[in-house]
Structure 1
């Protein structure tokens, strides 16, 4: 399971880099155009992903500043957003490289962003962490298409075919 999670962390870096290259093709108006999807625009979704990753990594590691909201847009420019994205990806990969497989049976206790105490299996929280990223990248991928940009595939199997990352961990 640890190798699968580490592969997903490496995959996220790969998929996010491919998606970032496509986001750079958008005009500022396209990037911030109001949309009916979660968070209201491509830029807002991309910011949400950085903030949500930061929130979950702080929960997983107990390190990092609290994230009071995942709805903000602290990175209005793509270079700053890309730099923040890399920081969270580095944290993610480091966490999964160091993860003790025995901890996957643990319960993660945390407080939700609306202040409710919560306790869930760590493995389920980690699965949610990766599923959440895939979900919102898919939204951005679709919105890029709506802007007339034919984006490269960013699926996990494409990553494995290209890199052999999972196979290399076995």
Structure 2
């Protein structure tokens, strides 16, 4: 890995890998377990995963300068892990494609982010991506902890970067990188 761009591209792939593993586990939950009230920032696995999907769409909209802004939050929450999995996968694929198209000069370019009553703020693409990855990691960790209280064991999500420790399903994300 030689550049910031390489790092961000790998983070986008790691994000997709970790989401895939987490959703594979969540899809094995009963609907009652998926919706059950749990301790976390959001009150259930369902609400936490919907939040991640919403926020991914919000920041992707800003990064791609599509102009939807806060209206992305008007989309109705999806009811099941089986519905959310392909929706999240689509957002993850969009994020990978966005990172793959970036050139060095894009990193310092500002993009508008509508914050409602607080106004429109401008942030660099690099900082927006770093925030988005951190946001995903933060809430995936919460879902991971919530899974520990279910019939489905939480999956390993950190077997991506180190070659000797890489999960077999992570390899395809490296091969497409």
Q: Does TM-score exceed 0.5, indicating one fold?
A: yes
The RMSD of aligned alpha carbons is 2.4
CA distance in 2, matches of 1:106, 1:138: 30
Moved more, 3-12 or 103-112: 103-112
User: Contact 1:48–1:73 at 8 Å: present in 2 too?
Assistant: no
> Structure 1 pair 149/123, CA: closer, same or farther in 2 (3 Å)?
same
Task: Give the C-alpha shift of residue 151 in structure 1.
Answer: 2.1
Deviates more, 1:84-93 or 1:61-70: 61-70
Alignment of 1:1-150 (within 5 A): 1-63=4-66, 65-68=68-71, 70=73, 74-114=77-117, 116-150=119-153
Q: CA deviation at 1:152?
A: 2.2
Which stretches in structure 2 are left out of the alignment for 5+ residues? none
Distance in structure 1 (CA, Å) of the matches to 2:176 and 2:46: 34
For 2:71, what is the secondary structure of its paired residue? coil
Give the superposition deviation at 1:69.
Answer: 6.1
Matched pairs, number:
167
Partner secondary structure for residue 37 of structure 1? coil
SS at match of 1:110: strand
Q: TM-score, normalised by structure 2?
A: 0.83
Identify if the C-alpha distance between structure 1 residues 134 and 89 changes in structure 2 by more than 3 Å, giving closer, same or farther: same
CA distance in 1, matches of 2:82, 2:129: 28
Return the alpha-carbon distance in structure 2 between the equivalents of residues 31 and 71 of structure 1: 22
Whether the aligned pair in 2 keeps the contact of 1:44 and 1:73 (CA below 8 Å) is no
CA deviation after TM superposition for structure 1 residue 30, in Å: 1.3
Which is further off, 104-113 or 17-26? 104-113
SS in 1 for 2:28: coil
